[in-house]
Amino acid sequence: MGTTCALFFDLLIVSFCIFIDSVHALSPLLGVHPLDDKYYASKIIKCKDGSKSFARDRLNDNFCDCADGTDEPGTSACPAGKFYCRNVGSTPQFIFSSRVNDLICDCCDGSDEYDGHINCPNTCVMGGNLEYKAGHYISTIRDLGSVDITESKTGVILPDFILKVKGTVLFLIFPHCSQKQLLLKKLGLGYSRFEDHNNRTGPH
């Protein structure tokens, strides 16, 4: 039964992480200010500079249709674009879209680095005023060495907090698992580390 619980938990965690990453990366309104949600609701959307229109399915498709970046609020495709950091719980802000997925965490909620090449912890709940310096960031995909973060003083909105739940502690209780298998686990940590800790500390 213990092995079944462990396998079930690992599958649940992997599925949850994949789901979170997919939603975050594919959200059509990523980088959009909440007051602009209605602006992007129609099937045909006008560029804010009035130059042309584009279909909603071309929103955040990583191809710049509007010179002012209206169609790419969530990517770095348009040089003139602006990305909105919702920063739930802290100070929302706009950053230049060229900073999206550039391996530097500019938004305190980490929403600007959604492609998975770097893991940006959500510092909004801490006020967003932590400075991350060289050696504090390591790429999760390739060895990029140290990244110097000097502009992390930003700010936190609930949808983005949910999308950036990586690193959040989960408390899960499964009815068929013994009490000692109360699963308190951080996303990304293997069940084996949890088991190893239990074996060293003994039953509680």
Write the pLDDT tens digit of every residue in 34-68: 999 999 999 999 999 999 999 999 999 999 999 99
The Cα 9–Cα 44 span in angstroms is 43
The Cα 119–Cα 189 span in angstroms is 14
Q: Look at residue 3 and tell me if it is in a domain.
A: no
155: tokens are 């700010």
Choose among 94, 188, 102: nearest CA to 147. Answer: 102
Q: Look at residue 199 and tell me if it is in a domain.
A: no
Residue 167 binned pLDDT confidence (cut-offs 50, 70, 90): very low
The residue ranking higher by pLDDT, 173 or 95, is 95
Q: How many domains does the chain have?
A: 1
- For the entire predicted model, the pTM comes to 0.52
The Cα 129–Cα 113 span in angstroms is 18
Surface-to-core class of residue 35, CB atoms within 10 Å of its CB (0-12 exposed, 13-18 middle, 19+ buried): exposed
Q: Look at residue 154 and tell me if it is in a domain.
A: no
Surface-to-core class of residue 119, CB atoms within 10 Å of its CB (0-12 exposed, 13-18 middle, 19+ buried): middle
Q: Look at residue 78 and tell me if it is in a domain.
A: yes
Q: What is the pLDDT of residue 62?
A: 95
1-34 tens-digit pLDDT: 555 555 555 544 444 444 444 334 446 689 999 9
Q: Look at residue 7 and tell me if it is in a domain.
A: no
Q: What is the pLDDT of residue 127?
A: 58
Q: What is the pLDDT of residue 158?
A: 46
Q: Is the dihedral of CA 152, 127, 83, 95 positive or negative?
A: negative
Query: Which residues does residue 112 pair with via DSSP β-bridges, in sequence order?
Result: none
Q: Look at residue 118 and tell me if it is in a domain.
A: yes
Q: Look at residue 21 and tell me if it is in a domain.
A: no
Q: What is the pLDDT of residue 125?
A: 81
Residue 202 binned pLDDT confidence (cut-offs 50, 70, 90): low
Strands 53-55 and 82-85: unpaired
Q: Look at residue 76 and tell me if it is in a domain.
A: yes
Which domain range does residue 72 map to?
A: 26-143
Query: What is the pLDDT averaged over residues 66-82?
Result: 95
Q: What is the pLDDT of residue 13?
A: 47
92-142 tens-digit pLDDT: 999 999 999 999 999 999 999 999 899 999 999 875 544 443 344 433 333
Query: What is the pLDDT averaged over residues 132-153?
Result: 37
